[in-house]
A and B are shown apart, each in its own frame.
Chain A
Amino acid sequence: MSIAEQGVAIAEAPSDDIVLDVRDLQTYFFLRRGIVKAVDGVSFALRRGEVLGLVGESGCGKSLTALSIMRLLPKGSARTIHGEVLLNGEDILEKTPNEMREIRGRKISMILQDPQTSLNPVFTIGEQLREAIFRRTRGRTREVMREAVAALRRVDIAAPEQRLGQFPHQMSGGMKQRVVGAISISGRPEVLIADEPTTALDVTIQLQYLKLLKRLQEETRMAILFITHDFGVVARMCDRVAVMYAGRIVECGPVDQVFDNPSHPYTQALIASVPKMTGSTERLYTIEGQPPSLMDLPVGCRFAPRCPYADQRCLAAYPPSFTVGAEHTADCWRMTAA
Chain B
Amino acid sequence: MTAGSLGEFEGQPLLRVERLRKYYPFTKGILFAKTLGQVKAVDDISFTIAAGETLGLVGESGCGKTTTSKLILNLEEPSEGRILLRGKPIHGLAGDALREYRARVQAVFQDPWSSLNPRMMVGRTIAESLIVTGWGNRTDIAERVRELLEQVGLRQDQATQYPHEFSGGQRQRIALASALASEPQLIVLDEPVSALDVSIRAQMMNLLKDIQARSNVAYLLVAHDLATVRHMADQTVVMYLGKIVEYAATQTLFDNVLHPYTKALFSAVLRPRPDRREEEIVLAGEVPSPLNPPSGCRFHTRCPFAMAHCSREEPPLREVEPGHLVACHLYDAAAAPAFARMKEEIVPT
Contact call B230/A270, Cβ cutoff below 8 A: no
> Which residues of chain B are within 8 angstroms of A58 by Cβ–Cβ distance?
168, 197
Given known contacts A230-B270, A235-B272, A273-B199, is B227 in contact with A202 (CB within 8 Å)? Answer: no
Contact call B265/A275, Cβ cutoff below 8 A: no
Name which residue of chain A comes closest to B200, CB basis.
A57
> Contact check: which of A174, A207, A234, A235 meets B282 at CB < 8 Å?
A207
A270, B198: Cα distance in complex, Å? 7
> Contact check: which of B61, B168, B286 meets A175 at CB < 8 Å?
B286
Name the prevailing secondary structure of the A interface residues.
helix
Contact call A174/B286, Cβ cutoff below 8 A: yes
Given known contacts A204-B283, A273-B198, A275-B231, is B205 in contact with A284 (CB within 8 Å)? Answer: yes
Q: Does B273 contact A (CB under 8 A)?
A: yes
* Interface size range on B against A: 35 or more
**Chain A contact residue count (CB 8 A cutoff):** 39
Contact call B224/A202, Cβ cutoff below 8 A: yes
Contact call B227/A276, Cβ cutoff below 8 A: yes
Q: Does B206 contact A (CB under 8 A)?
A: yes
Given known contacts A275-B227, A281-B230, is B286 in contact with A172 (CB within 8 Å)? Answer: yes
Contact call B271/A277, Cβ cutoff below 8 A: yes
Given known contacts A274-B272, A283-B206, is B227 in contact with A211 (CB within 8 Å)? Answer: no
Q: Does B202 contact A (CB under 8 A)?
A: yes
Given known contacts A284-B231, A286-B206, is B199 in contact with A207 (CB within 8 Å)? Answer: no
Q: Does B337 contact A (CB under 8 A)?
A: no
> Which residues of chain B are within 8 angstroms of A233 by Cβ–Cβ distance?
270
Contact call A206/B230, Cβ cutoff below 8 A: no
Contact call B231/A204, Cβ cutoff below 8 A: no
Q: Does A229 contact B (CB under 8 A)?
A: yes
Given known contacts A174-B286, A274-B227, A275-B230, is B197 in contact with A204 (CB within 8 Å)? Answer: no
Name which residue of chain A comes closest to B227, CB basis.
A275
> Which residues of chain B are within 8 angstroms of A34 by Cβ–Cβ distance?
none
Name which residue of chain B comes closest to A198, CB basis.
B270
> Which residues of chain A are within 8 angstroms of B287 by Cβ–Cβ distance?
202
Interface residues as binary, A261-278 with B (CB distance below 8 Å gives 1, 0 otherwise): 000000001110111110
Interface residues as binary, B149-161 with A (CB distance below 8 Å gives 1, 0 otherwise): 0000000000000
19 contacts between A and B (CB under 8 A): A174-B286, A202-B61, A202-B224, A203-B60, A204-B60, A204-B265, A207-B267, A208-B283, A232-B272, A235-B272, A236-B274, A270-B199, A273-B201, A275-B201, A275-B202, A275-B228, A277-B230, A277-B271, A287-B202
